[in-house]
């Protein structure tokens, strides 16, 4: 009986800590989750290509001008 209570308590503590950690990471994400090494936002919109007027990912544009 005590072992079942103990396992339930441990599982509840682990589940609660995991939930709190996920809520914290969602509510106040660290800077590394917001931008890449180049300082670009992870979810940046497409940029219009000047000649073809099609959408180009911002990452491709930065790599082109950085020479990467």
| pLDDT tens sequence across 12-65 | 999 999 999 999 988 998 877 788 877 888 888 888 988 888 998 888 888 888
pTM greater than 0.85: no
In the chain, the number of structural domains is 2
User: Over the stretch 16-27, which tens digit does the pLDDT of each residue have?
Assistant: 999 999 999 889
Q: Does residue 68 share a domain with residue 39?
A: yes
**CA distances for 38 relative to 27, 33, 63, angstroms:** 24, 13, 9
Domain with 58 in it? 35-68
Asked if residue 47 and residue 25 are part of one domain, the reply reads: no
Pair 47, 25 in one domain = no
- As a whole number of angstroms, the distance between CA 37 and CA 31 comes to 11
- Residues 68 and 40 grouped into a single domain: yes
For 59, the enclosing helix (H) or strand (E) is: helix 58-66
Structure tokens at 37: 């090494």
Q: What is the DSSP letter of 46?
A: P
4: confidence class by pLDDT, cuts 50, 70, 90: very high
pLDDT at 58: 85
Q: Are residues 65 and 41 in the same domain?
A: yes
The whole-angstrom separation of Cα 60 and Cα 30 is 24
Q: Band of the pLDDT at 68, cuts 50, 70, 90?
A: low
- Based on the fold, state whether residues 9 and 28 are members of the same structural domain: yes
Q: Are residues 41 and 23 in the same domain?
A: no
Backbone angles phi, psi at 3, to 5 degrees: -65, -40
């Amino acid at each position: 009986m005590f072992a079942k209570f103990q396992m339930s308590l441990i599982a509840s503590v682990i589940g609660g800590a995991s939930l709190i950690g996920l809520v914290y990471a969602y509510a106040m994400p660290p800077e590394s989750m917001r931008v890449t090494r180049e300082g670009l936002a992870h979810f940046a919109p497409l940029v219009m290509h000047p000649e073809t007027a099609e959408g180009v990912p911002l990452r491709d544009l930065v790599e082109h001008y950085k020479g990467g």
